[in-house]
Amino acid sequence: MIRAQRRRHLWWWLLLGPLILVGFAVGLSVRPSASATTARPGATPTQEASP
C-alpha cells in the first residue's frame, strides 16, 4: 500500500529527524574545545609542581 508507505515515510522523519538533530547537538556539546582545553599551543593551562 502506497498510502501506508507514505505514512511510514512521515513517521521515519518524525522519529529520525529529531534523533539526528538531538544527536548532533549532544555531539557538539561534548567537544573538549567547547568546554575544557585542548593540546593546541597556548590553550593549555599547566599545573606545575615544585621540583
Partner 1 sequence: MRDAFYVGYLRMPKRLRAFVTTVVVVLLLGAGAVALVATTQQPAPGDGTWDLSEKIKVTGTLTTEPYAMLTVPGKPGAPPRQFLLVTMGKVGGAGLDLPATDDAVSITGYPIARGAAGTVLLTVESPEDDVAVSGKPVIARDPVPVALGTATLDGEIVDPKCYFGAMKPGQGKVHKACATLCIQGGIPPMFVTTDADGAPAYYLLVDEQGHGLRGEALHALLPFVADPVRLTGQRERVGDLLRLRIDPRMIERR
Partner 2 sequence: MTHAYRAVQWNKHKRTYDALIAVGVVLFIALFVVVGLLQHEGDHAAHPVTLILRATSTCAITLLTIVLAIGPLARLSPRFNPLLYNRRHLGVSTFLVALVHGGLATFWYHGFGVVDPVTSVFTTNANYLPAEGQRWQSWLHGFPYQPLGVFALIILFLMAATSHDFWLKNLSPRVWKNLHTLVYLAYGLIVMHVTLGFLQDDVSVVYAGLLGGSAAVIVVLHVVAGVRENIKEGQDGIANTEWVAVAKIDDLEDAHGKVVCLKNHERIAVFRHGDKVSAVSNVCAHQNGPLGEGRIIDGCITCPWHGYQYRPEDGQSPPPYTETIPTYRVRVEGRDILVNPEALPPGTAVEPALIHETVGEAGDA
Number of residues that bind partner 1 (CB under 8 A): 17
Q: Considering only residues 8 through 27, tell me which ones interact with partner 2, judged by CB under 8 A.
A: 8-10, 12-14, 16-21, 23-27
| Residue 14 beta carbon to partner 1: minimum distance, rounded to whole angstroms | 27
Applying the rule CB under 8 A, the residues between 7 and 46 that interact with partner 1 are 32, 36-46
Secondary structure (DSSP) of 32-46? HHHHS--SSTTS---
Dig out the grid coordinates for 13 from the structure. 522523519
Is 2 near partner 2 (CB under 8 A)?
Answer: yes
